[in-house]
Structure 1
Amino acid sequence: MNKTIKKTSFAIIAISFAVSSLLVGCSKDEKIENVQTEPTPPRSIDVVELGLTGSLALLESGDATSFELTSSYLARIKAYDDAYGSEPGLHAIITVNKNALDEAKQLDEERAAGTLRGPLHGVPLIIKDNFATKDMPTTNGSIAFADYQTDKDATIVNKLREAGAIILAKSNLSEFAWSGEDSISSIRGEVRNPYDQTRTSSGSSGGTAAAISASMGAAGFGSDTYGSIRNPSAHQSLVGVRTTKGLVSTAGITPQVAYLDTAGPMTISVTDAAILLDVVAGYDPEDPYTNAIQGKKLGSYASSLSNSSLKGKKIGFVDLSDDPDGTYAKFADERNRVKVLINQAKADIEAQGATVVLIKESDFSSMWNHIEWDSIKYYIDDWFTKIPANWPNHLAELAEPTNALTLDDYIADGRAIQEIADSKDWLLTASKPSVFEEDVARKSVNLEKFKALYTKLGLDAIVYATDSITASKITGDDKFHNDAWSALASGLGLPVVTVPAGFTSSGLPVGLSLLGLPYSEGELLSYAYNYEQATHHRVAPSSTPKL
């Protein structure tokens, strides 16, 4: 193979048709032979801030077709993903689905015939490029894997397609989901933040976040091991959902630390996130972590939303610490700007009828689980073994065994991003982690401690700044993010919903996280919806305006 993925050219696909007869200054019995009209381009739809709900409304009312929506989203990718004007471009997209417009036409024909595949019929979505797709490469952001294509879709992708969605494009990411501070890949470079393109999009699902915030797709999906949905969502003024481990299948998603890995929606609204979660949640025999929900009736997340759900609830509030050890000293000004917004969020939640009580990080600090980053090699090698795929030519031959694809081959290729190359020694000496049952047991003791304290305090949710640092500059060595509560949620497999909390005085987005007990996504989404509807903080980025 040895192909290199290049940006797909997004020429506008015109609709042409033959006219069997045309009367031009003639009697009505005369016919003009072989006359055709000029090709007619698809009608442009203003998709800025349309999102999933808005797209569905246009499709259901007949005010837009899937072909028109898909064309309009593709036009925005073409306009804003590469350099334009004085902006460097977002670099949010790795691969565009070359069949997207044909799929849209087919879905329009089915709708016209009265057939709908499911609740997402005809809506273009964007997924992170570590989700397996049988019709597009799954590069994980690596130039070495430009030609790596699986034979089947990830379970989430399959569910989205069955619900009628179009997988419009696959988004850029921190290579192999490596970093939480930024999203840099060897195949596409660094994702930039549409609110300030001199800043990062955070990581590792930064491409999905930037693309959805810039209205390059109706909604998107990311994966989250240690904050990789939550931080990019916060820094792009999006709603992001880290699901309870086992609620959503991760089968077919390249692992990092399997017992912590999750996947979830990234959207411009809580309603959009709830609709998507309704589609993808559920038991999957290919993912043993979903065994806990086998046979359970999950109900509808979208129908649970209420703009009065916070009334009478008790919400634990984590104040930003005063940083006694000086960890965040050079970010003091930014943290103070974030603190203003988080304190306002506390007041807004109280205004909705909730009782807000102060809790301390130290109350929960003993429950933060150690995360076995040194088991990444085992999980990734296991993925290569189990997932049927076409391999990039000669890649497997670079390291022993020469007849199997491994992380060693990837490192031996020599084109990984610098952060991974610098860590190759311990990456390649990683030991096999615990078996599945021990993975589950590892978190059970601390999880029970968390549940006991949570219940003792009478909490319905805990809220805190998703990231106490605003988006970092692309240049310089000051890339950082606050991850204490990310560690808690990840280590214990807890659900978190992050929702826009406004913009700092410097114009950068901030997110508010709501954390709860396992499988409390319905309640958390409803609380987030109540807060969202009371505040309406989401504003589209100015660097990617209406075309």
Structure 2
Amino acid sequence: MLKRLLPLILLTTTMAAQSFQLEETTIAKTQAALTSHKTTCRQLTQAYLTRIAHYDPTLNTVVTLNPQALADADALDKEFAQTHKLRPLQGIVVMVKDNYDTKDLQTTGGSLAMKGFIPTEDAFMVAKLRAAGAIIIAKSNMAEWAFSPYLTESSIAGITRNPYDPTRVPAGSSGGTGASVAANLAEVGLGTDTGNSIRGPASHNDLVGIRPTIGLTSRAGIIPLSFTNDVGGPLARTVADAAAVLAAVQGYDPADPITKLSEGKAPKDYTASLDPKGLKGARIGVVRKYIETPTTDPEIKALTEKAIADLKSQGAEIIDNFTLPDLDRGPQKPTCGGFEYDLNQYLAAHPNAPCKTLAEIIDSGLYLGSIADRLKHAALPAAEATTAHCPDTYHDPRKIAFRDAITQSMDAQHLDALIYPTWSNPPRKVGDLKSPAGDNSQIISPMTGFPAITVPMGFTVNQTLPAGLTFVGRSFSEPELIKLAYAYEQATHHRQPPPQFPKLH
């Protein structure tokens, strides 16, 4: 796919001023360069296209380039020349996961069965990005139908690789977004998270990832995996950048009524939370369950203990250990539509989609052989296929009980947040599905709707493979979590770019 699009890329364009460093830039630095005329939106966009052309054949993060990206950049440059003002994300180049609707770009969910499908409208979050002045440069590869937290592989684009070691995985399912942002193929990105899929790629790619409170960002226009747990959010190289993107994409959307809950609970921006002394006086609970597992990698454990010490040194009070309540998983037999119902609802809202139901997708045979059984098992008997979707996070009795139990325990101990290693093991080798995985993200946030932020906490395996630390808080506590994560980030500065993908000359 990318090779066919390379003629669209003008490889000879360079940055106007060599003093502007594209690699590892931040939103603040990029916009300062724009206002001081050290660069333009077009030059920024071209520079990222050039990096994609040079480096993406190794990583395979891109499914579809945006052929209008340079034209979009030109329009933003013209606007700035007239207004002398920048919108919140003007000129910021964004990679968008391929399960977000984009009205001008193919949207496939990673499946060949959806090849060529172009929605008629943007997903709500994508529309908010564009309104903020962001430039969508491409759609990123993902685990097909967002099924895998371990591997980013799709029938539409193949396997995405980890920029810190291309023989390893970037986690799933938002691994294409994660790997591209880590390798500076885009400035920031959008992912989705059902059980892991923002936080896992953040941990494996030395990034900051925010899984927002369910209800803070709209799911409208996102191909679903499990509407009860799905949520979209940012992947970025810094806490400040992730917070800026979150501020731009959040908000009430009538097409996703659960977002009504966010009204009055979310600030317009999070800059007030970017306090380098934000850990002073904070009370943080350690979920030691995710540190002391028999298969936890010793280096991950050591990094986590060092992170705890770093939090203490910045003035946090550590409560060790926070014991999780039991989660009653309930009956195993499906009693609601689940993936099939949610996907069929999405497809019904998109009459131009090439397949109209999960059954048609299965019949097409256009999917990875490795997910065939899961697709078929997701197909409910005809009598159940049209039942209502599963109860959402705020109406499922067992999730309510679990959330209330955690909240009550946090309240009793006066805790501001919980922490644990995002993954207890380093990224696996591509093709390895047997060694310990170590995903710790599937329970607390998905089963409560609570927000969580993953921040880099160092490297393992001869200082080559990233690891992440997760902060979890109560519903709509993003400002507090951003404050804690930012203070930790500023005290430690663990983010490092992947050495194999340096600045181009």
Give the TM-score category using the shorter length. over 0.9
**1:307 Cα deviation from its structure 2 partner:** 0.6
Asked if the contact 1:154–1:253 (Cα under 8 Å) also holds between the matched residues in 2, the reply is: yes
**1:483 Cα deviation from its structure 2 partner:** 3.6
- Relative to structure 1, the CA distance from residue 382 to residue 11 in structure 2 (aligned partners, 3 Å threshold; closer, same or farther) is closer
Instruction: Specify which of 345, 356, 377 is matched with residue 426 of structure 1.
Output: 377
Give the match for residue 72 of structure 1: 47
State the one-letter code of the partner of 1:198. T
**1:291 Cα deviation from its structure 2 partner:** 2.0
**1:366 Cα deviation from its structure 2 partner:** 3.1
Cα displacement string for residues 362-395 of structure 1 (whole angstroms, at most 9, x for unaligned residues): x33336788979711110011001235x333xxx
Asked if the contact 2:291–2:421 (Cα under 8 Å) also holds between the matched residues in 1, the reply is: no
Counterpart Cα distance in 2 of 1:377 and 1:40? 47
**1:288 Cα deviation from its structure 2 partner:** 1.4
Give the match for residue 170 of structure 1: 139
Give the match for residue 288 of structure 1: 257
Cα displacement string for residues 506-534 of structure 1 (whole angstroms, at most 9, x for unaligned residues): 32100000000000001101100000000
Are 1:54 and 2:17 an aligned pair?
no
Counterpart Cα distance in 1 of 2:309 and 2:432? 36
**1:543 Cα deviation from its structure 2 partner:** 1.4
Instruction: Specify which of 347, 351, 360 is matched with residue 384 of structure 1.
Output: 347
- Relative to structure 1, the CA distance from residue 309 to residue 368 in structure 2 (aligned partners, 3 Å threshold; closer, same or farther) is farther
Cα displacement string for residues 63-103 of structure 1 (whole angstroms, at most 9, x for unaligned residues): 11011100000011001111xxxxxx111010110010111
Asked if the contact 2:13–2:43 (Cα under 8 Å) also holds between the matched residues in 1, the reply is: no
Asked if the contact 2:59–2:163 (Cα under 8 Å) also holds between the matched residues in 1, the reply is: yes
Q: Secondary structure at the match of 1:220?
A: strand
Cα displacement string for residues 5-42 of structure 1 (whole angstroms, at most 9, x for unaligned residues): 8652155438xxxxxxxxxxxxxxxxxxxxxxxx9766
Are 1:347 and 2:309 an aligned pair?
yes
Cα displacement string for residues 274-312 of structure 1 (whole angstroms, at most 9, x for unaligned residues): 111111111111101112123556342122210111101
- Relative to structure 1, the CA distance from residue 62 to residue 365 in structure 2 (aligned partners, 3 Å threshold; closer, same or farther) is farther
Q: Secondary structure at the match of 1:463?
A: strand
**1:243 Cα deviation from its structure 2 partner:** 0.3
Instruction: Specify which of 498, 501, 504 is matched with residue 541 of structure 1.
Output: 498
- Relative to structure 1, the CA distance from residue 378 to residue 435 in structure 2 (aligned partners, 3 Å threshold; closer, same or farther) is closer
Q: Secondary structure at the match of 2:122?
A: coil
Are 1:218 and 2:170 an aligned pair?
no
Give the match for residue 395 of structure 2: 441
Asked if the contact 2:457–2:494 (Cα under 8 Å) also holds between the matched residues in 1, the reply is: yes
Q: Secondary structure at the match of 1:503?
A: strand
Counterpart Cα distance in 1 of 2:212 and 2:14? 41
Counterpart Cα distance in 2 of 1:269 and 1:422? 39
Asked if the contact 1:367–1:449 (Cα under 8 Å) also holds between the matched residues in 2, the reply is: no
Structure 2: unaligned runs, 5 residues or longer: none
Structure showing greater Rg: 1
- Relative to structure 1, the CA distance from residue 41 to residue 460 in structure 2 (aligned partners, 3 Å threshold; closer, same or farther) is closer
Asked if the contact 1:224–1:262 (Cα under 8 Å) also holds between the matched residues in 2, the reply is: yes
Are 1:514 and 2:471 an aligned pair?
yes
Asked if the contact 1:235–1:510 (Cα under 8 Å) also holds between the matched residues in 2, the reply is: yes
Counterpart Cα distance in 2 of 1:485 and 1:365? 16
Q: Secondary structure at the match of 1:159?
A: helix
Asked if the contact 1:345–1:501 (Cα under 8 Å) also holds between the matched residues in 2, the reply is: yes
Counterpart Cα distance in 1 of 2:326 and 2:219? 28
Q: Secondary structure at the match of 1:383?
A: helix
- Relative to structure 1, the CA distance from residue 351 to residue 5 in structure 2 (aligned partners, 3 Å threshold; closer, same or farther) is closer
Counterpart Cα distance in 1 of 2:122 and 2:416? 37
Q: Secondary structure at the match of 2:327?
A: helix
Instruction: Specify which of 384, 405, 421 is matched with residue 465 of structure 1.
Output: 421
Counterpart Cα distance in 2 of 1:239 and 1:9? 30
Counterpart Cα distance in 1 of 2:302 and 2:56? 33
Asked if the contact 1:472–1:478 (Cα under 8 Å) also holds between the matched residues in 2, the reply is: no
Cα displacement string for residues 192-233 of structure 1 (whole angstroms, at most 9, x for unaligned residues): 000000000100000000000000011001000001000010
Counterpart Cα distance in 1 of 2:347 and 2:37? 44
TM alignment of 1:308-387, pairs within 5 A? 308-319=277-288, 320-323=290-293, 328=295, 335-361=297-323, 363-366=324-327, 375-387=338-350
Give the match for residue 219 of structure 2: 250
Give the match for residue 450 of structure 1: 406
Asked if the contact 1:209–1:232 (Cα under 8 Å) also holds between the matched residues in 2, the reply is: yes
Counterpart Cα distance in 2 of 1:480 and 1:188? 26
State the one-letter code of the partner of 1:384. L
Counterpart Cα distance in 2 of 1:436 and 1:115? 49
Are 1:192 and 2:161 an aligned pair?
yes
Asked if the contact 2:200–2:439 (Cα under 8 Å) also holds between the matched residues in 1, the reply is: no
- Relative to structure 1, the CA distance from residue 203 to residue 115 in structure 2 (aligned partners, 3 Å threshold; closer, same or farther) is same
Counterpart Cα distance in 1 of 2:284 and 2:340? 40
Counterpart Cα distance in 2 of 1:91 and 1:194? 10
**1:461 Cα deviation from its structure 2 partner:** 0.5
Larger mean Cα displacement after TM superposition, 273-282 or 477-486: 477-486
Counterpart Cα distance in 2 of 1:457 and 1:370? 32
State the one-letter code of the partner of 1:492. T
Counterpart Cα distance in 2 of 1:95 and 1:461? 38
Asked if the contact 1:179–1:203 (Cα under 8 Å) also holds between the matched residues in 2, the reply is: yes
Q: Secondary structure at the match of 1:412?
A: helix
Q: Secondary structure at the match of 1:381?
A: helix
- Relative to structure 1, the CA distance from residue 213 to residue 164 in structure 2 (aligned partners, 3 Å threshold; closer, same or farther) is same
State the one-letter code of the partner of 2:318. V
Counterpart Cα distance in 1 of 2:430 and 2:494? 25
- Relative to structure 1, the CA distance from residue 485 to residue 364 in structure 2 (aligned partners, 3 Å threshold; closer, same or farther) is farther
State the one-letter code of the partner of 2:313. A
Q: Secondary structure at the match of 2:395?
A: helix
State the one-letter code of the partner of 2:39. A
Counterpart Cα distance in 2 of 1:10 and 1:201? 28
Are 1:527 and 2:484 an aligned pair?
yes
State the one-letter code of the partner of 1:366. L
State the one-letter code of the partner of 1:463. I
Asked if the contact 1:308–1:352 (Cα under 8 Å) also holds between the matched residues in 2, the reply is: yes
Instruction: Specify which of 81, 87, 101 is matched with residue 56 of structure 2.
Output: 81
Q: Secondary structure at the match of 1:241?
A: strand
Counterpart Cα distance in 2 of 1:508 and 1:6? 29
Counterpart Cα distance in 2 of 1:341 and 1:369? 35
Asked if the contact 1:381–1:406 (Cα under 8 Å) also holds between the matched residues in 2, the reply is: yes
Counterpart Cα distance in 2 of 1:512 and 1:195? 18
Counterpart Cα distance in 2 of 1:164 and 1:58? 15
Give the match for residue 97 of structure 1: 66
